[in-house]
Amino acid sequence: MTHQSKRNGEKLILSEEGNDSKPKPSIEAKRVSLVYGDGTKAVNDVSLTVPRGEFFGFLGPNGAGKTTFIKILTTLLKPTRGEARVNGFSVGEDPQAIRESIGYMAQETNVDKDLTAEENVRFACEAYGVPRGVREERIRNLLELVGLYEVADKRVKEFSGGMKKRLDAATALVHEPPLIFLDEPTTGLDPKSRKKLWKYFEKINDRGRTIFLTTQYLEEADYLCDRVGVIQGGKIVELGSPEELKKKVGSHVLEINLKGDKKSGKNAAEIVRKSGILDDRATVETTEEGLNIGSDRTRELGTDILVKLRDEGFQITGFNLHDPTLDDVFLAITGERIDEGGREEPSLNFER
């Protein structure tokens, strides 16, 4: 294998030695759909290419189609229509070859609580047919990678949730797959454990592995991913880097909290849209608390907007001005929010 540097020389792309042609993408999906017997379109005409070495994120709420799509790519489900290739193999014709060439970390941890951390990784080595001559070194390297070497002899039932997740990641890597699927890997973890796991995913990606991540955590996708696909109702509704997506909202977002129910937010949004204060490129979205306004001139025009709403009789209970997040992007694109749980507060927070 040869290593070609990517992105400031920190990330590597693995390519086959002696192959001068452009390496095949890790994932190629063309018009993939999966329709259940009751007519529900879990995945709806999805086309997607993920190049080697990319950290790609699928962002969406429960029921959006994230897990269904990842199960199609890992050959656990057969698509109703369309075709997909993973590491150059067809999901319909070469499922075994795909399974041998990927790592898969499901939502639920797949480790034996009665075994030690080392025994779990050793069992995975045996299951994947890792040659005996390299097993000891690989077990050590993987446990060091995920920060569990010092507790290698402890039984997993003594581990915290975050430690179990990290061990699960190690077992998915024993056969050194070029592509790793992570299906909502940090769901249920506290923020500290989540961020610690992110560091290990970064290390894996920086060593040349392609990573396909599904997540509900906007901060997670923003921190880890080179590109993000926003999925809703089984369809990709937006695709781009986190920065590209955030630019669609504007340079700043003004969150305005209003007294009253959601109808107050809708009325206020309509007044702002018709006021002439903002141009046509600005986004004005209703929220449970009031409304969000995104624009390249939000910081400059924020006071005018607040005064306009006050003069129209709305009672403003609070407002925040912050850089756009993927949460703002998702709201602007879909009209919905994703419940992140434990989201950090914006930088400018004025409560009245």
- Note down pLDDT in tens along the chain; length 352 residues: 333 333 444 566 665 544 545 678 999 999 999 999 898 999 999 999 999 999 999 998 888 899 999 999 999 999 999 999 999 999 999 999 999 999 999 888 889 999 999 999 999 999 999 999 999 999 999 999 889 999 999 999 999 999 999 999 999 999 999 999 999 988 888 888 888 889 989 999 998 999 999 998 888 999 999 999 999 999 999 999 999 988 888 888 999 999 988 788 899 999 999 999 998 888 898 888 899 999 888 889 999 999 999 999 999 999 999 888 888 888 888 777 665 443 332 333 333 2
Residue 176 φ/ψ, nearest 5 degrees: 50, 55
At residue 98, what is the residue type?
I
In this prediction, residue 136 carries a pLDDT of: 96
Pair 2, 17: CB distance under 8 Å: yes
Q: What is the DSSP letter of 224?
A: H
At residue 194, what is the residue type?
R
In this prediction, residue 159 carries a pLDDT of: 95
Residue environment code for 64-90, b if the CB has 16+ CB neighbours within 10 A, otherwise e? bbbbbbbbbbbbebebeebebbbbebe
In which residue ranges of the chain is CATH 3.30.70 found? Answer: 248-351
In this prediction, residue 341 carries a pLDDT of: 43
Q: Is 283 helix (H, G, I), strand (E, B) or coil?
A: strand
The rounded distance, in Å, linking the Cα atoms of 264 and 241 is: 34
Sheet with 227-232, strands from edge to edge, namely 102-105, 179-183, 210-215, 55-59, 227-232, 235-240
In this prediction, residue 14 carries a pLDDT of: 61
Pair 103, 172: CB distance under 8 Å: yes
Token pair listed for 197: 């796991």
The rounded distance, in Å, linking the Cα atoms of 226 and 49 is: 13
Nearest to 178 by CA among 25, 70, 17: 25
Pair 28, 42: CB distance under 8 Å: no
For 248-351, CATH gives 3.30.70
For 2-241, CATH gives 3.40.50.300
In this prediction, residue 150 carries a pLDDT of: 96
In which residue ranges of the chain is CATH 3.40.50.300 found? Answer: 2-241
The Cα angle at residue 207 between residues 205 and 209, in degrees rounded to 5: 50
